[in-house]
Chain A
Amino acid sequence: MTPGRLFGRSLSLALLLIGALAILLPFIWMVSLAFKPQDEIFTATIQLLPSRIEWSNFTKALTETDVPRYLLNGVIVVVGILAFQILFAVPCAFALAHRRFAGRTLIFGLVLAALLVPFHVTAIPIFLGFAQIGILNTYWALILPFVPTAFGIFLFRQFLAQVPSELFDAARVDGLSETAIVWRIAFPLAMPAATAFAIFSITAHWNDLFWPLIATTDSDLATPPRGILFFRDEESGDDVGPLMAAAALITAPLVIAFLLAQRKFTRGLAAGGLKG
Chain B
Amino acid sequence: MTSQAVLELRDVTRRFGASTVLDAVNVTVRDGSFTALLGASGCGKSTTLRIMAGLDRPTEGEVLLSGENVADKTAYERNIAMVFQSYALYPHLTVFQNIALPLTMRHLNAFSRVPGLGRLAPGSATARELITKKVTETADILSLADLLHRKPNSLSGGQKQRVALGRALVRDPVMFLLDEPLSNLDARLRVKMRSELVSLHKRTDRPFVYVTHDQVEAMAMADQIIVMIKGKVAQAGSPRDLYDRPADKEVAAFIGTNSINFFEPDDGLGQMNGYPVNALIGIRPEHLAPAAGGHFGARLETAEFLGSETVLGLRTERGKEILAIAPGDYPVPAPGSEVRLGVSPERLHLFDRQSGKRLNAEHAR
> CB within 8 Å of B: which residues of A?
164, 166-167, 169-176, 180, 185, 188-189, 191
| Contact of A175 with B90 in the complex, beta carbons under 8 Å | no
Is the pair B76, A174 in contact by a Cβ cutoff of 8 Å? yes
- Asked if B88 and A189 sit within 8 Å, CB to CB, the answer is no
Name the A residues within 8 Å of B90 (CB-CB): 167, 170-171, 185
Chain A residue at minimal CB-CB distance from B86: A166
The answer to whether A169 and B84 touch (CB under 8 A), given A175-B76, A185-B90, A189-B91, is: yes
Does A175 contact B102, Cβ atoms closer than 8 Å?
A: yes
Residues of B within 8 A of A164 (CB): 86, 88
Known: A185-B90, A188-B92. A173 touches B55 (CB 8 A): yes
Q: Are B55 and A172 in contact (CB under 8 A)?
A: yes
Determine whether the beta carbon of B105 is less than 8 Å from that of A175.
yes
- A191 to B50 Cα, complex, angstroms: 29
Q: Are B105 and A170 in contact (CB under 8 A)?
A: no
Give the total number of A-B pairs whose CB atoms are below 8 A apart.
51
Residues of B57-109 whose CB lies within 8 A of A: 74-76, 80-82, 84-86, 88-92, 101-102, 105-106
Q: Interface of chain A, helix or strand or loop or mixed?
A: helix
**B53 at the binding interface (Cβ < 8 Å):** yes
A169, B164: Cα distance in complex, Å: 13
A189's nearest neighbour on chain B, judged by CB, is: B92
Is B284 at the interface (CB under 8 A from chain A)? no
Question: B232 near A: Cβ within 8 Å?
Answer: no
Interface residues, chain B, with chain A CB atoms under 8 Å away: 50, 53, 55, 74-76, 80-82, 84-86, 88-92, 101-102, 105-106, 167, 171
Q: Whole-angstrom distance from the CB of A40 to the nearest CB of chain B? A: 52
The reply to whether B84 and A174 form a contact with Cβ atoms under 8 Å apart is no
- Bound-state Cα–Cα, A166 to B82, Å: 11
Contact of B53 among A167, A173, A189, A191 (CB under 8 A): A173
A172 / chain B contacts, CB cutoff of 8 Å: 55, 74-76
Interface CB pairs A-B, < 8 A, 22? A164-B86, A166-B86, A167-B88, A169-B55, A169-B82, A169-B84, A170-B90, A170-B167, A172-B74, A172-B75, A172-B76, A173-B55, A173-B75, A174-B101, A174-B102, A174-B167, A174-B171, A175-B76, A175-B102, A175-B105, A188-B92, A189-B92
A180: chain B residues at CB < 8 Å are 105
CA distance A176 to B90 in the complex (A): 13
Contacts of B53 in A (CB 8 A): 173
B88 touches A170 (CB 8 A): yes
User: How many Å lie between the Cα of A173 and that of B90 in the bound state?
Assistant: 13
Q: Which residues of A contact B88 (CB under 8 A)?
A: 164, 166-167, 169-170
- Within the complex, the shortest CB–CB distance from A268 to chain B, in Å, comes to 15
User: Within the assembled complex, what's the spacing in Å between the Cα atoms of A170 and B106?
Assistant: 15
Residues of the B chain whose Cβ atoms lie less than 8 Å from the Cβ of A170:
82, 84, 88-90, 167
Contact call A176/B80, Cβ cutoff below 8 A: no
Closest Cβ of chain B: how far from A267's Cβ, in Å? Answer: 15
